[in-house]
């Protein structure tokens, strides 16, 4: 169980415990993780420290959500005997690396990060966000690089953060490991660098929209745990049905005989993302454009498609819900194993930075 796997390329990715996992996570990242876990050495981090960046006043919710996310992982097919699930707050090397990496990120560069700007706007953070909120992309670099992965499967909103992690890895390797700046990204480690220049891996759907309508500026918001616009992998069939039947579609269409717009319409975005019957989708889209099919019929079809996908996960989830002790044990074992690797990375980083001054070791409860 959780034996170190030799010679498999490594993946690191994860989620913030700010709720339960939803369909956006599935097509954006989870689906890839489940498919790749036998051929890659996988680390999945539950980023509970980062959850404090937007909800420091709700510690109990974050605690509960750690359990929810770990349960969702197991429910959707992540196998803890193959993959390592870890809890960010119990990996001290991540916090230490965050501080060192913060010195390698120019402040102005951080503030240009479009994902931070989107989050500030979409989550309504105004100008009251904390210094810690701005620090989280740097923390995320440490989450990633602590495990020196080859690949990071994420949704599109994470691309700006991953670019930052590539920049920091290059800077560290050049500054402390003597890697020539002309070195191609893929060759940094072979050239003596400690940190790989990671590759992002986008999911089948890079940014799934939510089921709510557009924002004031007319943009469809991404499905997000925090925006109350998600269909969760743990939703019961009745909840899925209610959400789909109430979902935003073409607002100009009053009856089935009105011609409808398919583009930017969540109903069709969802059918294209989840309905395996491509032929039906194509035909129904053509009818919709011509005013030959009703929203209700298309929504009912979507309910069936989504329930088919979600129901096996939800059923599996129930067995883990009955035994939360086992879920915590999975996290404990995974975190212990992850600490071995993260400590090794931190020691190597300190060696490179000439700060391997006093040896230390951590004790883990297995
Ligand atoms: P929060 O609202 O707290 O930011 P979230 O729903 O955005 O939560 P995260 O924990 O921030 O979820 O993201 C976890 C992973 O899932 C990231 O790789 C992110 O890119 C991906 N992801 C999240 N939402 C979507 C989406 N709607 N479509 C595609 N990928 C997504
Ligand atoms: Mg997010």
- In tens, the pLDDT along 91-132 reads 999 999 999 999 999 999 998 888 888 888 888 888 889 999
Return the pLDDT at 1.
Answer: 47
- 51 CA: nearest ligand 1 atom: 3
CA–CA distance, 285 with 287 (Å, rounded to integer): 5
For residue 25, report the distance from its CA to the centre of ligand 1, in Å: 6
Q: Which atom of ligand 1 is nearest to the CA of 157?
A: 20
Average pLDDT, the chain: 94
CA-47 nearest atom, ligand 1? 10
Contacts of 218 (CB under 8 A, 6+ apart): none
Residue written as tokens 């890079």? 206
Q: Which residues are 12's β-sheet partners?
A: 43
CB-based contact 339:90 (threshold 8 Å): yes
For residue 156, the ligand 1 atom closest to its alpha carbon is 20
Ordered by start, the domain boundaries in the chain are: 10-203+323-352, 237-319
- For residue 232, how far is its CA from the centre of ligand 2 (angstroms)? 15
Q: How far is the CA of 300 from the centre of ligand 1 (A)?
A: 26
- 220-222 vs 209-214, strand pairing mode: antiparallel
CATH topology for 237-319? Tyrosyl-Transfer RNA Synthetase (1.10.240)
Q: Which ligand sits nearest to residue 12's alpha carbon?
A: 1
The tens digit of pLDDT for each residue in 172-220 reads 999 999 999 999 999 999 999 999 999 999 989 999 999 988 887 888 9
Q: Distance (Å, rounded) from C-alpha 167 to C-alpha 172?
A: 9
Atom 21 (ligand 1) nearest CA: 155
| pLDDT reading at 3 higher than 70 | no
CATH number of 10-203+323-352: 3.40.50.620
Ligand 1 in reach of 88 Cβ (< 6 A): no
| pTM for the model | 0.93
Compute how many other C-beta atoms are within 10 angstroms of the C-beta atom of residue 215: 12
């Amino acid at each position: 169980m959780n034996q170190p796997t030799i010679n498999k390329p490594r993946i690191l990715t994860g989620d913030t415990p700010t709720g339960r996992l939803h369909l956006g996570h599935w097509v954006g990242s989870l689906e890839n993780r489940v498919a790749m876990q036998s051929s890659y050495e996988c680390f999945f981090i539950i980023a509970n420290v980062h959850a404090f960046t937007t909800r420091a006043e709700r510690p109990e919710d974050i605690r509960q959500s750690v359990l929810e996310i770990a349960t969702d992982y197991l429910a959707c097919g992540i196998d803890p005997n193959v993959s390592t699930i870890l809890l960010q707050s119990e990996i001290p090397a991540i916090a230490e690396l965050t501080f060192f990496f913060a010195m390698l990120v120019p402040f102005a560069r951080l503030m240009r990060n479009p994902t931070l700007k989107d989050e500030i706007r979409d989550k309504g953070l105004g100008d009251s966000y904390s210094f810690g909120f701005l620090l989280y992309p740097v923390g995320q670099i440490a989450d990633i690089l602590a495990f020196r992965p080859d690949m990071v499967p994420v949704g599109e909103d994470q691309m700006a953060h991953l670019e930052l992690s590539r920049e920091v890895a290059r800077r560290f390797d050049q500054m402390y490991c003597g890697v020539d700046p002309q070195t191609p990204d893929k060759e940094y480690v072979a050239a003596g660098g400690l940190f790989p220049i990671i590759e992002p891996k986008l999911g089948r759907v890079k940014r799934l929209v939510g089921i709510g309508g557009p924002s004031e500026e007319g943009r469809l918001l991404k499905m997000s745990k925090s925006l109350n616009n998600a269909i969760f992998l743990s939703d019961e069939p009745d909840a899925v049905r209610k959400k789909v039947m109430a979902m935003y579609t073409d607002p100009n269409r009053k009856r089935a005989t009105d011609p409808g717009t398919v583009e930017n319409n969540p109903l069709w975005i969802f059918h294209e993302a989840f309905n395996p019957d491509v032929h039906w989708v194509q035909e129904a889209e053509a009818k919709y454009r011509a005013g030959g099919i009703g929203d209700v019929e298309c929504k009912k079809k979507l309910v069936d498609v989504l329930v088919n996908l979600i129901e096996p996960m939800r059923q599996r989830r129930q067995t883990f819900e009955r035994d939360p002790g086992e879920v915590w044990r999975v996290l404990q074992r995974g975190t212990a194993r992850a600490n071995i690797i993260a400590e090794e990375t931190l020691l190597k980083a300190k060696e490179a930075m000439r700060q391997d001054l006093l040896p230390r070791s951590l004790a883990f409860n297995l």
